[in-house]
Structure 1
């Protein structure tokens, strides 16, 4: 992986995880072509019909594209306002987002909570919707509001759906062997030892994609050091070579003897198949990812929170990436944009979309779970009770740090776990360059 040369803030690309972060290292060249991501007429272009609103969408795959179109059609029926949709390929949308927002963006556009939202809010490239949150805030938990808030304390984001990261397993296999859900890291290690004795790979792992084990780092960090430290570390405000980060990797070393061999040469899909086949006991992954591999067999897929490490924090933090929507800084139709965002915050709109996705959950806490499958019902309760919600490392930190320092660092750790000193010193050096350079 070549080293990334930081680009100026105006050309700073933000990629989705679907791109597996690989494009981040050459994004400066891609971003130069960004004007091809044209808007449909928002961004203060003026002269728009009072019964229209423009909508910039990265829902480019056929199933989500059809689903979001149905949601917007329902909005039109209820409000009389037609949404003109500007759909771009998911990856292209992420690569070209900066130039898009600096031009004439659509009134409302799809995006992500966490650092990615805060970055554009901090650059003055998105609209403040704090007043709107005064009306729709009742649809969300405090943790979701926290994830929708910029560094200035104002809200810029409306959550639409999310999916939890946790430890997934097959209940039928566990029942067969008499395994019970571990509550602490010690119990997890003990359980892994039993699985090895039974001829089962304790923890299925596929890291050839680069990003999956970043999720394990997150779990270990906020379980060891708590949510506040985790988010401060992601912002480059903590010492990556300090004791707290070293403690994370020391805790991680305890799990490595339980890992599936050749993790760096295996995709996450193949690792998930190991769990599906009953050859792997559990896997730290997102419901949306592993759920794809369990299509038609979701009734034999369950999960539990990553176990407690530090009793001061317990399991109060949950990783649940949130997709949703933002508003242009100067939308041509501000009133209609806010009406659309209000509609998108409703259980009705979110459930309509999720008819196409049985592995994710609506962001609204007001959703009636009657139509959910068992996995979704548990995920709703899991996320709803969380005191804090994180977004996944590549969404919570500067993507230059995620794509270069962390992916390379985590891979080096998996390959050579005894050199923690060299690892954290290297991370600290790159953090200093990226966050203060």
Structure 2
């Protein structure tokens, strides 16, 4: 369930030149010249996309982006469970999370692994629509324990399923209970209370809000939650779909509000990874941190038990604070796996409660998607996170999963980083975003 990825060569990661405009093609060519693409061997599958559907194979290959120690170990245990139940060996091809995402498009057009880790929603539909993923409707006919929402998030534009959900995680504001108890801090329920709390934390010698955006994506979470709180879910998803103007007063208000909060954020964010920001919370140097539940990967033992969270407070009482980001991670199948039988067996297992139970036992920093899993061993943090998602009125998938991949990577990453460096030129930044949006969404 690891979320991190670097900004390095980020532009090369997703969109075929054939579906983008000239600027995108030029960017991809430049990235290829620096060795970002598949030709350098950065991401190569174990599968053979030309060898047909095969049968009765005793092995199957999995391309995995779960490269951080904890999620990598969990993947290994899940695959061991599949081998025990099926007799089929899984050859796991683990690639650095960043590299995997930067090269995914070329990987899928080459000889990918039979099964690969990926994301629900727009990201899944994009590759399904391009014919780069296998139809999993037959697998879904064998699955149970999934809500209609999970099935919808796994369904392509043609009505077929192309994705098997495994886990999900909400974004929230995390903090250490012991620090708050010692200082007498109270959970804020409004933006005014949050800013007052942040000012007090500053007086107490803390970074009020841990913050990092070296990797390009964490700041998207801050934008998402502010837009959801200020303008509501429908405006947010319409904005992501290119249906609303970035130059509107509604979007300007989001950035004006964020600019007012920036002094409470940990400085020099563009030189810090999310892990380093999480460690500042772990070391009791920061008071709060807006991130996904995977922040727990940086905590263990008593420190993990000391971790708690609250949903980002309301900004507008008429909109409330019930919407949130809760991205879904899972698995897809190559368009031509070397053994379709073995691949579908693996995907059916990955969607089962047995696989979910393995994850529950080994990873306290995620929530499993299958409702049939035994969640009695969930930590207090996991139980609270599941309740938070269950009480949400609307759930977004995260900015770079809810919009076109090329728009997220080539436009929003530099725009948000520009804003963080210079929050005084909001109008100029948003005009640039809107102009690029029009070009990308009409290409």
TM-score, normalising length: structure 1? 0.84
Q: List per-residue Cα deviations over 1:199-226 (Å, max 9, x = no partner).
A: 4332222233332212101111122223
1:293 aligns with 2:292: no
Provide the residue aligned with 1:123 in structure 2.
130
Partner of 2:234: 228
Once the two structures are superposed, the pairs formed by residues 129-144 of structure 1 within 5 Å of their partners are 129-136=136-143, 138-144=144-150
Tell whether the 8 Å contact from 1:39 to 1:100 is kept in structure 2 after alignment.
no
Relative to structure 2, which stretch is displaced further, 337-346 or 50-59? 50-59
Which residue number in structure 1 is paired with residue 314 of structure 2? 308
* CA distances 1:87-121 after superposition (whole Å, capped 9, x unpaired): 14234433433233334544422212233212101
**What does residue 274 of structure 1 align with?**
280
Q: Who is 2:385 aligned against?
A: 379
The aligned runs of 1:195-210 (5 Å cut-off) are 195-210=201-216
SS at match of 1:109: strand
Structure 2 CA distance for aligned equivalents of residues 327 and 346 of structure 1: 16
Structure 2: which 5+ runs fail to align?
1-6, 20-26
Structure 2 distance, partners of 1:196, 1:7, is 39
What SS does structure 1 have at the residue aligned with 2:16? helix
Q: Hey, what's the Cα distance between the residues in 2 that align with 1:110 and 1:176?
A: 42
C-alpha deviations, 1:145-182, integer Å up to 9, x for none?
Answer: 34323334443211112222210111112122222212
Query: What secondary structure sits across from 1:33 in the alignment?
Result: helix
State how far apart, in whole Å, the 2-side matches of 1:61 and 1:276 are. 18
Q: List gaps (5 residues or longer) in structure 1.
A: 14-21
Paired residues of 1:413 and 1:419 also in contact (CA < 8 A): yes
Could you report, residue by residue, the CA deviation over 1:19-51 in whole angstroms, capped at 9, with x for unpaired residues?
xxx999725753351787244345662443256
Moved more, 178-187 or 48-57: 48-57
Inter-partner Cα distance in structure 2 for 1:93 and 1:121 = 18
1:56-80 deviations in Å (ceiling 9; x for gaps): 3334556544532332332233234
Asked if the contact 2:12–2:103 (Cα under 8 Å) also holds between the matched residues in 1, the reply is: no
Query: Is the CA contact 1:147–1:389 (under 8 Å) kept in the aligned structure 2?
Result: no
Q: What is residue 425 of structure 2 aligned with on the other side?
A: 419
Return the match for 1:171 from 168, 171, 177: 177
Write the distance in 1 (CA, Å) between the matches of 2:270 and 2:420.
8
Question: Which secondary structure state, in structure 2, belongs to the residue aligned with residue 325 of structure 1?
Answer: strand
User: Distance between the aligned counterparts of 1:3 and 1:110, measured in 2?
Assistant: 20
SS of 1:255 mapped into structure 2: helix
In structure 2, what is the Cα distance between the partners aligned to 1:339 and 1:356? 23
Pick closer, same or farther for the CA change 1:100–1:267 going to 2, 3 Å. closer
Q: TM-score, normalised by structure 2?
A: 0.83
Match of 1:49 in 2: 56
Conserved 8 A contact 1:57-1:85: no
SS of the counterpart of 1:432?
helix
How many angstroms apart in 2 are the aligned matches of 1:309 and 1:25?
Answer: 42
1:245 aligns with 2:258: no
Pairwise CA distance, 1:326: 0.9
**Distance in structure 1 (CA, Å) of the matches to 2:58 and 2:12:** 42
Structure 1 pair 83–433 and aligned structure 2 pair: CA distance change class (3 A): farther
How much does 1:53 deviate? 4.3
Who is 1:16 aligned against?
Answer: none
Q: 3-state SS of the aligned residue for 2:288?
A: strand
Query: How far apart are the structure 2 equivalents of 1:268 and 1:96?
Result: 22
Q: Is the 8 A contact 2:11 2:410 kept in 1?
A: no
Counterpart Cα distance in 1 of 2:14 and 2:199: 49
Matches within 5 A, 1:93-132: 93-132=100-139
- 1:338 aligned residue (326, 338, 344): 344
Q: How does 1:400-415 map to 2 (within 5 A)?
A: 400-415=406-421
Q: Secondary structure at the match of 2:376?
A: helix
Which region of structure 1 is more displaced relative to structure 2, 93-102 or 59-68?
59-68
Q: Map of 1:338-357 to 2, 5 A cutoff? A: 338-357=344-363
